[in-house]
């Protein structure tokens, strides 16, 4: 991540109402003209984090499922006295068994709470380094969720393909091409994972020290390291299954083609023997007649 033109999200340039300030950080492949860029990313894909001000009352009141991976809504309440039950409920997860609960970290006298797609900052001034830290963490965490959401279909297929993967039978020939395609898709997921993992484990050195601390705290509270380890194990199981299947299919094909080649060689040798035998018989007949 590289830090681009930073912003100073102070009450002078943010839409505020009832002591609240709202921002939306969007992750886009190209920064729009005139947009306020927080930072720029290169791994696992090229993207910019751009921020725009919002009317706090325009924020969606409840979280949606699936949670967004291309934006983060940030609500700032500068004075804890202005917080009411509706503000606290804004971070409630959507009604889904997989939806995580929010996590919180202390920021001096205040607190920052985060869950996918949303962040609530209470009792402190929202500074540019805090916004940059939020943008970095939210971007990389969203890319991790992309991988976590992309893997289950392969796991479901792996359960159905386990028997065909270990017992190579000509009857399952129609699945062989799909096994190879699945292995290629898993390789792309592995490459993305390899580019994402170090970014999640080590905050960008371009961030100020306080911002790097904030990213580390959010990562610990969101169990990022455990999630990376679990995803790596799940991905490895699928890779082993389909890689082994592709290897066995290749060996089977080589065996079948090898047998066919041997039979062709034997047939050619028999033809040659028959030709030699025919020549000997014709020569014997010619000598006998003359």
Residue ranges covered by each domain of the chain: 2-126, 139-258
Positions in the chain whose pLDDT score sits under 50? 5-17
The per-residue pLDDT for 239 is 94
The per-residue pLDDT for 114 is 96
* pTM of the predicted model as reported, rounded to 2 decimal places: 0.80
Query: Closest Cα partner for 39 from 144, 172, 131, 158?
Result: 131
The per-residue pLDDT for 9 is 42
In percent, how much of the chain has pLDDT > 90?
A: 50
Q: Extract the runs of DSSP E, i.e. beta strands, from the chain.
A: 2-3, 16-17, 20-28, 36-41, 47-54, 71-77, 103-107, 110-115, 118-122
CATH code given to domain 139-258: 1.20.58
Burial class (CB in 10 A: 0-12, 13-18, 19+), 99: middle
The per-residue pLDDT for 183 is 92
Backbone phi, psi, residue 3, to 5°: -80, 125
């Amino acid at each position: 991540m590289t830090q681009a033109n930073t912003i100073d999200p102070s009450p002078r340039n943010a839409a505020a109402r009832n002591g609240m300030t709202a921002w939306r950080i969007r992750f886009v492949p190209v920064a729009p003209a005139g947009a306020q860029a927080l930072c720029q990313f290169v791994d696992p894909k090229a993207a910019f984090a751009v921020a725009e001000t919002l009317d706090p009352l325009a924020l969606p009141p409840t979280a949606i499922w699936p949670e967004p991976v291309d934006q983060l809504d940030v609500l700032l309440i500068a004075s804890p006295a202005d917080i009411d039950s509706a503000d606290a409920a804004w971070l409630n997860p959507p009604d889904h068994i997989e939806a995580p609960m929010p996590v919180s970290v202390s920021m001096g006298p205040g607190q920052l709470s985060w869950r996918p797609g949303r962040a609530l900052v209470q009792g402190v001034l929202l500074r540019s380094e805090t916004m940059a830290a939020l943008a970095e963490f939210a971007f990389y965490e969203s890319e991790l969720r992309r991988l976590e959401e992309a893997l289950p279909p392969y796991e479901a297929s792996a359960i159905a393909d386990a028997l065909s993967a270990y017992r190579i039978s000509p009857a399952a020939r129609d699945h062989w091409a799909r096994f190879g395609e699945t292995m290629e898709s898993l390789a792309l997921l592995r490459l993305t994972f390899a580019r994402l993992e170090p970014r999640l484990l080590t905050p960008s050195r371009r961030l100020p020290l306080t911002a790097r601390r904030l990213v580390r705290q959010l990562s610990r509270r969101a169990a990022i390291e455990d999630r990376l380890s679990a995803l790596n194990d799940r991905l490895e199981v699928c890779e082993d299954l389909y890689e082994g299947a592709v290897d066995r299919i290749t060996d089977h094909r080589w065996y079948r083609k090898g047998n066919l080649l041997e039979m062709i060689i034997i047939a050619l040798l028999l033809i040659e023997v028959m030709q030699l035998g025919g020549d000997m018989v014709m020569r014997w007949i010619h000598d006998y007649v003359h």
